[in-house]
Amino acid sequence: MKILTERKREIILSLGIFFINYFFDRFTKHIAVEYLKGNEPISFFNNIFVLVYAENTGAFLSLGKNWNIYVKYAVLLIIPIFICITGLLYLMIKENKNYRIIICSCIIGGGIGNLVDRLFNEFTVIDFMNFGIGKIRTGILNVADISVTFGVIILIIFEMILNKKTTAYNDSSHNG
């Protein structure tokens, strides 16, 4: 109980960001099913942004789509669920840096959004957004994919910048 009291702010921050990402993903997928499924794609800004309904039975860019069902369960469901739950618990119990709590909670919220699709929809994840210019386009993706992808990119950038600052500070303090 002492950990919960001492870590209340980190727990609230982790769960808050996690649930915002998770529920925004669920909400947008619901809207996609209601308004895009069975309809023509909707294009914005001269096809830079396209809303188009798709169902993905694999992972990123349909990776694993044709895998054996046991491998699929292990690699696309069981292991990722374990990683997400462990990561969220770590953020709530151990992590002290707010930027890591926020970014990693976004990543985990997006991850769980797609895992829930896989778990309750026979491995089918609902995708509905496509970005690009001309023939240079993304795959069809969803809010969870954006949370995970941009979360990982932003985390790497933050870690690189903060690592450089720490290294520069340590170098200057040893030389001075």
Residue type, 168: A
Whether 117 is catalytic is: no
Tell me if residue 145 is catalytic. Answer: yes
* Three-state SS annotation for 41-82: CEEECCCCEEEEEEEECCCHHHCCCCCCHHHHHHHHHHHHHH
Q: Which of 25, 117, 145, 171 is catalytic?
A: 145
**Look-up of token digits 């995970």:** 148
Q: Give the count of beta carbons closer than 10 Å to the beta carbon of residue 136.
A: 7
Residues marked active site are found at 127, 145
